[in-house]
Amino acid sequence: MSVFFFHERSITMSTNNKNLHLTDQDIIIIEKGIENGPTKTAITLTLGKDKSTIGKGIISRRFQTYKSSYNPACANKDECSHNHVCSGCPDFKPFKCYICPIEIDLKKLGLNCQEKADLMVSHINSQSKENLKAKSPLEMMEFLNSELYKRFIEYGIEKIERDQIVLKPYLLKDKK
């Protein structure tokens, strides 16, 4: 008899609430329910909605609050053979930018892995002087992304005046 009652109740819920979305009030009730700890089934009984609707509502509005379990600043993170246990790792290798001064922590510039640092440097170096309209890469950064430019200047990257730039022969190669 109880099986029939449960079956009848679920049919009633699905026909009464067919094609209805979660309202703002429903979402608040779900959030309070999750905070207080009842099961998804208890929340569905409270709202009179289908379990799958409640589940989809929870999934679409959740966000992860945990941090990465490994150090993204390690240049070997993709080939790690130590299960991403970075503290005291013998193979730990911090990523670095060959343009920036040695003491610069690239994380403070918004770069959290070697790939991003390499990408930034390759973008800076891939443009010819004609494409940059006679501006330096740093001047282009100031024009295109003033926030990143400010972080570079605050962190100690200095703008070198044109008359003080010394180019070595290997830097003058034509890129074809």
Answer whether residue 78 is part of any domain. no
- 75 and 95 Cβ atoms separated by less than 8 Å: yes
What pLDDT does 156 receive? 72
- 155 and 104 Cβ atoms separated by less than 8 Å: yes
Q: Could you give the angle at the alpha carbon of 111 between the alpha carbons of 107 and 113, nearest 5°?
A: 95
159 and 100 inside one domain? yes
Q: What is the mean pLDDT of each run of 10 residues along the chain (176 residues)?
A: 41 49 81 77 81 80 53 65 68 62 61 66 62 71 80 74 64 55
Answer whether residue 67 is part of any domain. no
Answer whether residue 158 is part of any domain. yes
Number of domains present in the structure of the chain? 2
Answer whether residue 73 is part of any domain. no
Give the tens place of pLDDT for each residue, 96-146. Answer: 555 565 555 666 666 666 666 666 666 655 666 666 666 777 777 787 778
What pLDDT does 2 receive? 38
102 and 154 inside one domain? yes
What pLDDT does 144 receive? 75
Q: Which tokens belong to 3?
A: 């099986």
Residue 154's domain spans which residues? 95-172
Residue 84, phi-psi category: left (phi > 0), alpha (psi -120 to 50), beta (remainder): left
pTM summary value: 0.29
48 and 113 inside one domain? no
The rounded mean pLDDT for the chain is 66
Answer whether residue 70 is part of any domain. no
What pLDDT does 11 receive? 43
Contacts of 15 (CB under 8 A, 6+ apart): none
106 and 166 inside one domain? yes
What DSSP assignment string belongs to 82-108? Answer: STT--TT-TT--B---SSS-TT--GGG
Q: Which of 38, 61, 84 is the last residue of a domain?
A: 61
Amino acid at 101: P
Answer whether residue 35 is part of any domain. yes
